[in-house]
Every structure is written in C-alpha cells, then in structure tokens.
Chains A and B, each alone.
Chain A
Amino acid sequence: ALIISELELKPPPYSLNSLEPHLSRETLELHWGSHHRAHVARLNSLIAGTDLDGMGLDDIVIATYNKGSPRAPFVHAAEVWNHDFFWQSIKPNGGGQPSGKLMELIERDFGSFSRMLKEFENAALTQFGSGWVWLAYKANKLDVGNAVNPCPSEKDNKLIVLKSPNAVNPFVWDYSPLLCIDVWEHAYYLDYENRRDEYVAVFLEKLVSWEVVSHRLDIAIKRAADRAREDEKDS
C-alpha cells in the first residue's frame, strides 16, 4: 500500500485564549489557525512525491535551505519549524528569570541577564521587514572538512542573539536555537498595532518560558559535546 506521510499542524501546548491579555485569542486563531496552517498545507503539497516526501521536518529545512540557495519548499518548511518553535517558547504566566546553567551562561556571555534582554529587545526592534529574533547556542563548528580550531576552549561555545529575515532560522547555520520571537507584523498588529516595542517587552516579561529555553540549552550542550567527541574520534 502507498504510505503518505503528511507533516501535521501541531497545536500550541495551551488553549488559544490562554495567553490573553498579552496575545489575544483572535491573534492566535489567525496566526496559528491560518498563517501557520497555510504553511503546513503548502509544504505538504510542494513535497508530495518529491525526494523530500517522508523526511522529517528538520531534514527538510536543511535540505531545502540548500546551503543558501533555497529551493521552493524552504520558506514553508522553515516557517512551520519557526512557528512550532515559537509556540513552544511561550506559555501562560511566563516571564520571570532563568536559573541554573542557562543563567550562568547568560551572565558569562552577555555580562548580565538584563544586558541579554536589552540586546534581544534591540534586535527585535531593528529587524527591518518580516523576520525573527533568536537566542541561540553557537557551537564552534565550521562546515569545512579539514578546519581545526588550534586552541579550543569551553568559551567557543556560547550564547548569541541574532536576527533573521523572513523564514530563515539559525538552525540552517548549524546553531542551536533556544528562544525566538516572531516579528512579522501579523504576530502583533491586531494586539499592539505598530507598537512593536510593547509587544517585545510583554513577550519578555510575561510570555517567555525559561524552562523550555533551559531544556533546549541542555540538549544543545549535549549535542555539541557529542559532536566534539565524534570529531576527536575522526581525527
């Protein structure tokens, strides 16, 4: 029998009105129920019957990014990935402060939690046109076969804030994203109109799930360590 593996629209891990008053039910109905859904549908129709059919979403994103010469399904695959990641980055009664290893690295790499927030906020306000802003864990790994870092240190792996246009995400550059905010205007226009600064402030103060970010950091660190070990074995 023919097996058709369709990628599915994952619902946010909370009900659509549970981020109110910070993000309205109407915004989520449109943003998740319509924009996100349309990317899933479009992606499924573009990959049906191609070499991408049956691959996992991560692999589709990397394959279609095609080292910077994106194939047609890329924008939809990446937008599905980004939106899944965005919904999971926030929660009702979020905000507050991170703790443990995450806080430690934030303080090491940005000086303080508030300086990291400032940098994140500034990136979100200056992203021109549609796009995303990220906190990511950048492992020191070059995609060049024979490149070797002569003096590797723990600090090579660090937290960074960066922005990306339209659908691009740092995952395609081999970074491990930890947190993202959607700064496409559809993400905030109904609730905040053109006051993006308010949206970004509320996102950081009331919505971010630092538990999820911490958990992602653990995975990212483990992934980087596993790879470093593998590289050593190879060399």
Chain B
Amino acid sequence: MSERLLDIKNLSVTFGGLNALSDLDFHVDKGEIVSVIGPNGAGKTTFFNMISGMVTPTSGDIIFRGESLLGLDPNQVTARGIARTFQNVRLFANMTILENVMVSQHCRTKQGIMGALFQTGGFKREEQEIREHGEKVLGFFGSRLVGYRLNQPASVLSYANRRRLEIARAMATKPEVILLDEPVAGMNPKESEELTGLIGKLRDEWGFTIVMIEHDMGVVRDVSDRVVVLDHGETIAQGSYDEVSSNPAVIEAYLGRPAEEAS
C-alpha cells in the first residue's frame, strides 16, 4: 500500500553481556505513527539511540529508504532524514530559541566560512531562509515560542515549552521521520492533550512519519496507528492499540497493573 520507510531487521545490542535489545524486527511505513511502549528498562531509548547512530547495534540492520544506516554517524543519519528528541530534554540552553531551530538546519545548509566573512548574497539568502523556516516551525506551537521569545535563551522557557522547542528543533532539520522520546512526559493533562493533537498534525499537515516512545497510554491510544511492545529487550507484541492491549503477554508484562491503567 504505502512506501516502506524504515525497516528494522533482527536488531540486537548487548552491553557487557547484557541483552539490551534482542532481535527487534519491525517496519514503519510512510505517514504512520508508531508507538514503542514497554516498562522502564525495556530498551526503548536504546532502540532510538541505535536508529540515530549514537549506539552501534551488535547485529541486525536498519534500512531507511532502501539504504542501511549502520556505521553512519548521528549527523549523517539526521542528514538522511531522521530527527529525534530526547527523553530528558536536551536543548542548547544558552542559545536563543531562534538559534536552536536555526542551528538544527545545519545539515540542510552549506554556507561556509568564506560566505560568512564576505557576506555573500548566497550567505544572506540562506540566513534569511533558515530564519524563516525556523520561525515557521516555531509557529507550529502557536504564539508561545515566537515574538519576543525568539531572542531569549532557551533556558528561560517553562518545562512544557522546552519540550515543544525540542520538537520544533527536530522539525527544523526537515526530516522524513521524527523520533519522539516521551514527548508528553512531565506535562499536565491539558498540555499533553494539546500535544497529542499536534502530533497528529505533524503527520497530517507536515507529512512527517512518527515513531514515538510514550508511557501515557491515553496518548498512545489516541494517535498511534500501530504499537510495538518491548520488554527486557524483546518484542512481545505488535499491532493496533486494541490488539496489543488485549494481548495477554502485554497485559502481564506491562498493562497488567490495573491500578496504573486506571489512572
């Protein structure tokens, strides 16, 4: 039906004899929103780190648009069209909000030292373009990150806004796929509801494909086309939210705690 974008084949990694992830096998089609869930320590962030090139898998392969990502540096992965956010929000806290989204367009631009020194037409045009594109992605979150905020350092932002800026920074790299690592963690219900809507918009209006790690089952249910469940580095279930949530293995490993489910 649709184009296959990301293909994960038998991916495994061991850290000092410990299987952080073993034989992960799944794919992401263009325009999908896939959630990766699982209890803490299930290997979800390790999985993201492997896709984005920060951790080298022990075996297996990651195919993105028909090309293996193995052995690429993180920046090359990003240049090929996979951007990510971090679980523990890692902004460039002392750079301004605008600079944060400008600097992440680095791999889409090419002006070098000479352009900057002689202020060539190409340099000025490019600066203009990345500034406009930066403001555009910031505008995705309404008025929160624009206007007087543009030239304020990222460190003055509230927690929720930092999460938003991180998503904007990933968007600015002009990716195909965005990897969101717990995008609503630490947000209040109203904020996470709003962000859930925006994640849908990211796909519908901006055309991004999204892979998301999330603990908040409400968010997962609302936006995901498919859900992958990891536990102790193993894939224990894949499928739609309803399929997965009725899978006995998942219930045992993860959802089998009614008290937490109820919240």
Do A and B belong to a common assembly? no
Which residues does A use to contact B, with CB under 8 Å?
A: none
Which residues does B use to contact A, with CB under 8 Å?
A: none
